[in-house]
Amino acid sequence: MTGSWDKGHGSAVESRLEGLTSWDADWSGLRVVVTGIGVSGFAAADTLIELGASVVVVDASVSERTEAQAETLRIVGAVDVLLGPDAVQSLPRVEGALPDLIVTSPGWRPDQAVLAAAARRHIPVWGDVELAWRVRSRRGKKTAEWLAVTGTNGKTTTVGMAESMLRAAGVKAIAVGNVGTPILDAIREPVEYDAFVVELSSFQLHWAESLSPLASVVLNVAEDHVDWHGSYESYLADKAKVYRNTQKAAVYNVEQVETERMVEDADVVEGCRAIGFTTGLPGLSMLGVVEGLLVDRAYIEERRDQAAELASVKDLGKIAPRHTVANALAAAALVRAYGVEPVAVREGLRRYLPGDHRIQPIASVGGIEWVNDSKATNPHAAAASLAAFDSVVWIAGGLSKGVTYDELVGRHASRLKAVVLIGVDSSELAAALARHAPNVPVIPVEPGETGGDQPEGASIMDDAVARAAEVAAPGDTVLMAPAAASMDQFTSYAQRGTAFIDAVRRLVEGQAHSKE
C-alpha cells in the first residue's frame, strides 16, 4: 500500500469503524495515529493501547513533559511516539501501512499537515470525545448519561453548577471534557458514574459525529476562534452539533436567537423537547427569573399557569452578574431533564464554589474593588464582566484570535474610566477604543521582558496594576478582563490571573507599609 487506500481496504475499514460502538467491540490491531500528547491526546493513546489497537503518537513539541509522557506510553504498551517538528509534517505509517483512523487532540486545526493528509486519503478523523462516546458502554458496568454543554463563554461554570446540583440530589456525577478531567479517563475509572456533565469546545465538536446526549445546551455564541474555524459561520455550525441526536432536552438561550435556530434546525431524537432559559420572565417551557427567584415553567405539569421555585439569585453568592444567573438556569435546565428535584438545584448552587479567574474579587482597599476575570479570553466574556460594574478601570489586551472589538467598546464605553493595555500587540483593541471611546484615557504597558527572579509575566502585571492604581478612585472597580487570549505574554489565562492576584497583593502590602 503506497499512496492511498485501495477501495476494498477502505470499504472494509469503514465497515469495521461503524461497528466500534462499545468498549467490548473488537479494537484489536486497528492502526491509529494520535495527534498530540497533551492531556487529551495522552488519554486517547492510553485508551487505545488498552483496547488493543496499534498506535503511533505524534507531537511537534520536544520538552521534558512530552518526553515523560512518551516514556509512560511506551511502558504501558507497544506504541511508537514521534516528537519534534518533523513528526507532524506528514502522515506517519503504523506497522508499515497507512493508518485506519486518526484520533486528534482538540487544538489541532483541520489544515494541519497530518490531518490534511488524512482528509486527502479519506482516512476518518475522530476527536477524543468521539472516541469516548464510542467506548462509553462496557459489559458489566453502568453506562453514564451525558449532559453536554457548549457555548462561547460560561461552559466551565455551568458544568460545575450542574455537577453540584446532581451531587446534591445523590447522583454520582462528574464534570469532564474540556473542563479538566479527560472524559476517557473518567470512563476508565472503576467508579460507576450515573452522569457525565461534559464541557465541549467548538474544536471537540468539530471532530464529533456520533454523540447522543440526554440533554444539551449552547449557552451563548459570539465571534471567537475564527482563526481556527476559518469563519464565524463555521464556528456556529460546529457549536450547533451539540444538539444533534439529543434525546430529551435541547436547551437554548432565549436571549440569543442563534441558539434557538440551532435547536430548530437540529436533528434530535423523537420526543426531545426544546427548553429555553432567560434572565427575564419565563414563557411556557422555559426557566427564568421572577422577583429575584429562579423558576421553572418547563418540567412541571402545571407549567401553563404556574412555575416551580428552584433557587434565589442570592444563592449564587456575593457577585451574581446576569451571565452567572443565565449559567445557573442553563445548568438547572440540564439537571431537571435528568430528573433532579428543585430542592437539589438550590442546594447545589449554594454548595458550588466558583473557579478561580472568573469574576473573582481580589481586594477592596480605599473604596476601590480589584476583580480578576482572566478567564474572559474574548470580547463576549469581557462584555459580561464589564456589565457587572458601573465605573471601571479596565486592564485588557493580549492575543486577539482574529476577533473584533468595536461592539464591545461601543456598548460599554460609558463604564470606562480608563483602560490599561497589556499584550504584545493590542492595536486592534486600541483602535476600537479610539473610534468608540475617544475620551477614555488609554494607558499602554510596555511588553517588557520576562525571566530573572520573577515568574513569567510578573513584571508586566506589576506595571499594569501600578498604572491602574494611579487613576482609580473610591467607587471604581479595577477589572482585569482581557478580552483576549494570554499566550503572547503568559503561559495560560490561569497564569495571567495569578500574576494579577500577586501584583495586587504586592500593591496592597506596599500601601500598608507606607502608612506605618
Q: Where are the domains of the chain?
A: 28-131, 143-351, 360-515
Whether the per-residue pLDDT at 121 is higher than 90: the answer is yes
Contact 427, 399 (CB under 8 A): no
Instruction: For residues 23-41, give the mean pLDDT.
Output: 95
User: Which pLDDT score is estimated for 239?
Assistant: 95
In whole angstroms, give the CA distance from residue 141 to residue 152: 34
448 is in an annotated binding site: no
Kindly indicate the confidence band of residue 357, based on its pLDDT and cuts at 50, 70 and 90.
low
pLDDT-based confidence at residue 222 (cuts at 50, 70, 90): confident
Smallest CA-to-CA distance from 404 within 381, 432, 423, 373 is with 432
Closest CA to 489 of 444, 447, 446, 452: 447
Query: Residue 236: pLDDT above 80?
Result: yes
Residue 152 marked ligand-binding = yes
Mean pLDDT in residue range 105-112: 90
**Does 291 have pLDDT greater than 60?**
yes
DSSP for 105-144, please give it: -TT--TTSHHHHHHHHTT--EEEHHHHHHHH--BTTBPPP
**pLDDT score at 71:** 94
Check whether 186 has a pLDDT greater than 80.
Answer: yes
Q: Which fold has domain 143-351?
A: UDP-N-acetylmuramoyl-L-alanine:D-glutamate ligase (3.40.1190)
Would you state the torsion angle of the CA atoms of residues 431, 434, 436, 441, taken in this order, to the nearest 10 degrees? 130
pLDDT at 93 over 80: yes
Predicted local distance difference test score (pLDDT) of residue 516 = 53
Evaluate if residue 512 carries a pLDDT over 70.
no
424 pLDDT more than 70: yes
Identity (one letter) of the amino acid at 300?
Answer: I
Written as one letter, the residue type at 214 is L
Q: Are 499 and 490 in contact (CB under 8 A)?
A: yes
List, in order, residues 6 or more apart from 167 with CB less than 8 Å away: 173, 348, 351
Closest by CA position to 316, among listed 294, 298, 297, 335? 294
pLDDT for residue 8: 52
Angle at 61 between CA 55 and CA 62, to 5 degrees: 95
Residue 4 pLDDT > 60, yes or no? no
Please give the angle made by the CA atoms of 197, 202 and 208, to the nearest 5 degrees.
75
From the centroid of its chain, how far is CA 457? 23
Q: Which of 157-171, 190-204, 489-503 has the lowest mean pLDDT?
A: 489-503
Does residue 279 have a known ligand-binding role?
Answer: no
pLDDT at 452: 36
End-to-end Cα distance, the chain: 79
153 is in an annotated binding site: yes
Q: Which three cell numbers stand for residue 265?
A: 434546525
> Distance between CA atoms of 100 and 287, rounded to whole angstroms?
46
Instruction: Give the C-alpha separation, 330 to 218, whole Å.
Output: 9
Among the listed residues 408, 383, 336, the one whose alpha carbon sits nearest the alpha carbon of residue 154 = 383
Q: Tell me what the mean pLDDT of segment 245-249 comes to.
A: 98
Q: Could you tell me which of 291, 354, 351 has the C-alpha nearest to residue 319?
A: 354
Indicate whether 449 pLDDT > 70: no
Is residue 44 scored above 90 in pLDDT?
yes
Q: Count of CB atoms within 10 A of residue 197's CB?
A: 30
Give the model's pLDDT for residue 448.
62
Angle at 345 between CA 339 and CA 349, to 5 degrees: 150
Residue 156 is assigned to a ligand binding site? yes
What gap in Å lies between CA 467 and CA 459, rounded to an integer?
12
Q: Which CATH superfamily is domain 28-131 in?
A: NAD(P)-binding Rossmann-like Domain (3.40.50.720)
Mean pLDDT value of segment 374-403: 88
Q: Provide, rounded to the nearest whole percent, the portion of the chain with pLDDT above 70.
A: 93
Contact yes or no for 269/295 (Cβ under 8 A): no
* CATH entry, 360-515, from 3.30.930.10, 3.40.30.10, 3.30.300.30, 3.90.190.20: 3.90.190.20
Distance of CA 273 to the CA centre of its chain: 25
The confidence score (pLDDT) of residue 513 equals: 56
Task: Tell me how far apart the alpha carbons of residues 166 and 186 are, in angstroms, rounded to a whole number.
Answer: 16
Q: Contact, 418 vs 440, CB < 8 A?
A: yes
DSSP string computed for 216-276 = EEE----S--HHHHSSHHHHHHHHHGGGTT--SEEEEETT-HHHHHHHHH--PPTTPEEEE
Phi then psi for 358, rounded to 5 degrees?
-125, 95
151 labeled part of a ligand binding site: yes
Kindly state the cell numbers that stand for 440: 477614555
Q: Is 439 annotated as a binding residue?
A: no
Mean of pLDDT values over 280-308:
95
| Mean pLDDT score across all residues of the chain | 90
* C-alpha span between 377 and 152 (Å, rounded): 10
Four-point Cα dihedral 334, 237, 239, 271, nearest 10: 10
Task: Look at residue 1 and tell me whether its pLDDT is greater than 50.
Answer: no
Which helix H or strand E contains 343, and what residues bound it?
helix 342-351
- Which of 497, 151, 168, 475 shows the shortest CA–CA distance to 323? 151
Averaged pLDDT, 375-402: 88
pLDDT of residue 453: 40
Nearest-angstrom CA–CA distance, 221 and 240: 10
Whether the per-residue pLDDT at 444 is higher than 50: the answer is yes
What is the SS3 assignment for 236?
Answer: helix
For strand 308-312 and strand 293-296, is the pairing parallel, antiparallel, or unpaired? antiparallel
Average pLDDT, stretch 243-265?
Answer: 97
